[in-house]
Structure 1
Amino acid sequence: MFGNPLAVAEPWDLVADGYAEFAPAIMQPFSARALEFVSLSAQSQVVDVAAGSGMLTLLAAERVARVEAIDFSESMITRLTKAAAEAGLTNIGAQVGDGQALPFGSDRFDAGFSMFGLMFFPDRARGFAELFRVLRPGGTAVVSSWAPVADSPLMRMVFGASAAADPSIQEPRPNFLSLENPEVFESEMRGAGFEAVSIQRHSTMLTFGDSEQLWEVVLRSSAPLELIRHTVGAEAWAGRAALMKAFLAANYRPGRPLSTTAYLGIGHKPEY
Structure 2
Amino acid sequence: MSEQLSSGVRPWDLVAEGYAATGATVLAPFAAHALEYVTISSESKIVDVAAGTGLLSVAAAELGAEVQAIDLSASMIDHLVAAAADHPAITARVGDGQALPYDDNSFDAAFSLFGLMFFPDRPKGFAELHRVLRPGGTAVVAAWASAAESSLMRALFGALVAADPTAALPQPNPRSLENPRVFDAEMRAAGLLDVRIQQHTVEVQYPDATALWESLTRSSANLAVVRDEVGEEEWQRRTEAAVDHLTVTYRPNTPLRTTALFGIGTAA
State the TM-score, normalized to the length of structure 2: 0.96
SS at match of 1:214: helix
1-structure distance, mates of 2:47, 2:135: 15
Q: State the shift of 1:9 in Å.
A: 1.1
Q: State the shift of 1:98 in Å.
A: 0.4
Contact 2:40 2:65 in 1 (8 A): no
Q: Which digits, 9 at most, give the CA deviation of each residue in 1:57-103, with x for residues without a partner?
A: 00001123410000001010000000111xx1101000001000000
Indicate the residue corresponding to 1:205 in structure 2: 203
1:4-153 → structure 2 map (5 Å cutoff): 8-85=8-85, 88-153=86-151
Contact 1:153 1:259 in 2 (8 A): yes
SS at match of 2:103: coil
Q: State the shift of 1:41 in Å.
A: 1.4
| Consecutive unaligned residues in structure 1, runs of 5 or more | none
RMSD (Å), alpha carbons: 1.4
1:168-207 → structure 2 map (5 Å cutoff): 168-207=166-205
Compare 123-132 and 58-67 and name the one that shifted more: 58-67
1-structure distance, mates of 2:68, 2:34: 17
Indicate the residue corresponding to 2:250 in structure 1: 252
Q: State the shift of 1:218 in Å.
A: 1.6
Indicate the residue corresponding to 2:232 in structure 1: 234
Given residue 253 of structure 2, which amino acid in structure 1 is its aligned partner? G
Given residue 96 of structure 1, which amino acid in structure 2 is its aligned partner? V
Q: Which digits, 9 at most, give the CA deviation of each residue in 1:149-183, with x for residues without a partner?
A: 00000011111111112222233121111000001
Contact 1:156 1:171 in 2 (8 A): no
Q: 1:223 aligns with which of 212, 221, 224?
A: 221
2-structure distance, mates of 1:255, 1:172: 26
Q: State the shift of 1:220 in Å.
A: 1.5
Contact 1:67 1:91 in 2 (8 A): yes
Q: State the shift of 1:262 in Å.
A: 0.3
Contact 1:210 1:253 in 2 (8 A): yes
Given residue 97 of structure 1, which amino acid in structure 2 is its aligned partner? G
| Consecutive unaligned residues in structure 2, runs of 5 or more | none
State the TM-score, normalized to the length of structure 1: 0.95
Indicate the residue corresponding to 1:264 in structure 2: 262
2-structure distance, mates of 1:171, 1:258: 19
